Amino acid sequence: MSRDQKFFDMYSLVIGALIIFALAILVLSMKMSDLTQGIYTRDVAEYQSDLAGRIRPLGQVYRAGEEHASSAPTVETTAEPEPVATAMSGPQVYNAACLACHGAGIGGAPVLGDAVEWAGRIAQGRDLLIEHALQGFSSATGYMPPKGGRLDLSDSEVEAAVDYIIDESK
Ligand code: HEC
């Protein structure tokens, strides 16, 4: 065998090995991309819609008059916990909301414990006093704001305060 022939054989062997190696890498890379992205076996339409979703622009421009369903993500909200009812007692409400005026007779408010001043008012009946306390009241002496200006109080809290005032002023 000539040296040229020997070189040629060796050369073909190396080239062949390289081709097999390259093919192996090709097959392996196809297998890998299939495993990780599934682009060879997955439905093309599904893949394209997935892709469109990934490269979707953040915003879209609509002209006036055009109507489009919002593509903004809907925010899931968890139900607000029910506020725990913490009703105040009559005296508590009185101290917090009524004392300011009824403690010293500010603005013509009938003073708590002043039986003479309260007698005529109590004579109107509890229901009317409660109504006046809830809705506000103004006669000769001054102006009583609805719920004493504390609209955050519940009706029953104001009621309890009126009961307290009546009890203390008889
Ligand atoms: C800003 C001052 C003010 C506050 C605060 C206030 N009052 Fe009065 N209240 C008055 C005045 C003034 C009157 C007298 C109004 C009149 O007769 O002209 C009055 C009258 C009343 C009367 C008698 C109503 C009637 O028919 O004669 C009741 C009952 C009463 N207030 C309950 C309350 C209660 C309960 C609170 C607290 C939740 C409260 N008030 C807070 C000023 C106030």
* Total structural domains within the chain: 2
Indicate whether 66 belongs to any domain.
no
Residue 134's domain comprises 90-169
The pLDDT confidence band at residue 24, using thresholds 50, 70 and 90, is: very high
Nearest residue (CA) to ligand 1, atom 12: 109
pTM over 0.85: no
Q: What is the mean pLDDT of residues 93-121?
A: 91
Indicate whether 142 belongs to any domain.
yes
Residues framing ligand 1 (Cβ under 6 A): 93, 97-98, 100-102, 106-110, 121, 124, 128-129, 132-133, 137-145, 147-150, 158, 161-162, 165
pLDDT at residue 19, as a whole number: 97
Q: Do residues 102 and 48 both lie within one domain? A: no
How far is the centre of ligand 1, averaged over its atoms, from the C-alpha of 128 (Å)?
Answer: 12
Q: What is the per-residue pLDDT across 36-95, written as a single tens digit (0 to 9) for each?
A: 776 666 677 888 888 888 898 887 777 777 776 666 667 777 888 776 767 889 999 999
Tell me the chain's radius of gyration from C-alpha atoms. Answer: 43
